[in-house]
């Protein structure tokens, strides 16, 4: 469930009209040959990029599992809620089981679930960590996201090579420096 109040959704026709209006605002003719289908393409692309896929979290009882599990290199694309421009990156997700392990393919699905919406990288990081913790009851969860933001690359400061790193640490990874260092090393952040 969303942490935000839902708003009444505009119709598809309203969305198409809004894109046509935006094109006109930019000084373009929305009826010229190259732009006739642009409203449909923009609306379809934004819908696709902001619709979270369904998934069923699958955790398995594994009483003897007490070592860190890490899945890294998970590619994601999200849409910056401030500019409606994409940001892309990779996620590393690790957790310390407490009797349950998560199906490994579910970890990228959790990242995708939260990336496919209007988002902030910091919030995305926290939401992934919280979901892994809730599903597994893990003793600790750590998530590190590395992303490039097109809103910084093509406008404003125009820094196309900037990489934003965020982390969210829960449980033992927040409270124990040795556990955090081991996790970060397994994720490949051992500089």
151 noted as active-site residue: yes
Give 110-162 pLDDT, tens digit per residue: 999 999 999 999 999 999 999 999 999 999 999 999 999 888 888 888 887 88
- 39 and 80 co-located in one domain: no
Same domain, 70 and 149: yes
Catalytic residue among 62, 83, 130, 150: 83
Concerning whether 149 is annotated as a catalytic residue, the answer is yes
Taking Cα atoms as reference points, which of 98, 100, 96, 74 lies closest to residue 142? 96
Expressed as residue numbers, the domain containing 135 is 59-186
β pairing state of 59-61 and 100-102: antiparallel
Whether the CB-CB separation of 150 and 85 falls below 8 Å is answered with yes
> How many structural domains comprise the chain?
2
Q: 89 with 152, same domain?
A: yes
Q: Do 113 and 36 lie in a common domain?
A: no
7 given a catalytic annotation: no
Q: Domain for residue 73, yes or no? A: yes
Within-domain flag for 191:
no
What CATH number is associated with residue 98?
3.30.1130.10
Residues 107 and 32 in one domain: no
Instruction: Record the pTM.
Output: 0.90
Residues 141 and 176 in one domain: yes
Annotated active-site residue in 7, 81, 112, 163: 81
- Tell me: the pLDDT tens digits for 63-89? 888 899 999 999 999 999 999 999 999
Structural domain contains residue 77: yes
Catalytic residue among 121, 125, 127, 182: 121
Q: Mapped to the 3 state alphabet, what secondary structure does 50-107 carry?
A: CCCCCCCCCEEECCCCCCCEEEEEEEEEEEECCCCCEEEEEEEEEEECCCEEECCCHH
Do 180 and 143 share a structural domain? yes
Q: Are residues 84 and 162 in the same domain?
A: yes
């Amino acid at each position: 469930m969303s942490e935000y109040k839902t708003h009444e959704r505009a119709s598809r026709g309203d969305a198409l009209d809004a894109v046509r209006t935006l094109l006109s605002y930019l000084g373009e003719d929305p009826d010229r040959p190259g732009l006739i289908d642009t409203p449909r393409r923009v609306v379809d692309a934004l819908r696709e990029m902001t619709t979270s896929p369904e998934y069923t979290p699958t955790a398995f009882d594994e009483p003897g599992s007490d070592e860190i599990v890490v899945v890294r290199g998970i590619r994601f694309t999200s849409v910056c809620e401030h500019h409606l421009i994409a940001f892309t990156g990779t996620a590393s997700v690790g957790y310390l089981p407490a009797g349950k392990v998560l199906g490994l393919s579910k970890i990228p699905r959790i990242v995708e679930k939260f990336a496919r919406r209007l988002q902030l990288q910091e919030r995305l990081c926290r939401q992934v960590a919280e979901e892994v913790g809730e599903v597994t009851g893990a003793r600790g969860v750590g998530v590190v996201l590395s992303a490039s933001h097109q809103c910084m690359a093509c406008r404003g400061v125009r820094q196309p090579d900037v990489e934003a790193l965020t982390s969210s640490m829960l449980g033992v990874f927040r409270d124990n420096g040795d556990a955090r260092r081991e996790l970060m090393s397994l994720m490949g952040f051992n500089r």
